[in-house]
Structure 1
């Protein structure tokens, strides 16, 4: 079974190969979110192009953080909008305060047992600094360093076309009006309708 390091290297290689053949949409550096892939929490690659046509809320998470309770809100947001196309993508990370568990299996069990999480999740992933996953490096360039994660449970909203639409800091709850309004707008822009999803 490939290791996390091998999967990350493969993700980087896929991104580089895509750039080399010039199949890159418009955007900073020619990239969109759909040009990146994460290691999945169960192994294998999780390419963001899998979600093309759907808005995606990408959230760096941690299991032992004071904000871990936000998993409830993330699941509630996913439950509310999933039938209309929203994807919530959890990105476990140990970058802030060393607050993530040691293995993907532990993270998956923790999320299932404590929060009944069923939205997709990646493997444990670096999201800041020189070792940040390419998606996070790209997002920082796209929106600026002031919109980059400063702690766990930072949220990026990616549009159906792969462009970054918004960033929300840790303290913004997943079900806050700012988030739900941005999600509604993204769903409407993707041709998925408006309303409250109830």
Structure 2
């Protein structure tokens, strides 16, 4: 049985890819772009665009957060060390990555329980449909928009700028 979704994004904690607990209240007053990622997906090259957004806007308060997930086509089979190494060497990723999680089902991470309840997808379905679904959160923790995997990071940039 699924646990009730958190009332606020700031009530969530997650484990960094390095194994440290990270409370989301550390991201108060930041604009967040939260993405479920995978290393062997057709959308994997979006890591480059996500890193570009991070590089361009981090000083203004944007934080990109990557959450590896293996629920879609087994496209994230690696362990944390393999995922981190791949992201750093292939795409120069320096934004925060977290340990692999589930985004759908009874074992969905509380963050994704919150996000999918706050911003249902097309036709009102809460489930994440594929890797690289993106959620944009404003500086006060309000979920602003959900983007499909096909939305490229550069297409989201205008929305990010409005929140900074």
Q: Same fold (TM over 0.5)?
A: yes
User: Which digits, 9 at most, give the CA deviation of each residue in 1:31-68, with x for residues without a partner?
Assistant: 22111011110002121111100000000000001110
Q: By how many angstroms is 1:30 displaced?
A: 7.4
Choose the corresponding residue for 2:113, options 119, 137, 147. Answer: 137
Unaligned ranges ≥5, structure 2? none
- 1:1-198 aligned at under 5 Å gives the runs 31-146=7-122, 148-176=127-155, 179-187=156-164
Higher relative contact order (CA 8 A, sep 6+): 2
Larger radius of gyration: 1
Higher helix share: 1
Higher strand share: 2
Number of residue pairs aligned between Structure 1 and Structure 2: 159
* Length-normalised TM-score, structure 1: 0.76
Q: Is the 8 A contact 2:87 2:93 kept in 1?
A: yes
| Distance in 1 separating the partners of 2:24 and 2:134 | 16
* Length-normalised TM-score, structure 2: 0.91
Unaligned ranges ≥5, structure 1? 1-11, 17-28, 188-198
Cα RMSD, aligned residues only: 1.7
Q: Is the 8 A contact 2:6 2:114 kept in 1?
A: no
Q: Is the 8 A contact 1:54 1:86 kept in 2?
A: yes
| Distance in 2 separating the partners of 1:166 and 1:97 | 25
| Distance in 2 separating the partners of 1:101 and 1:108 | 12
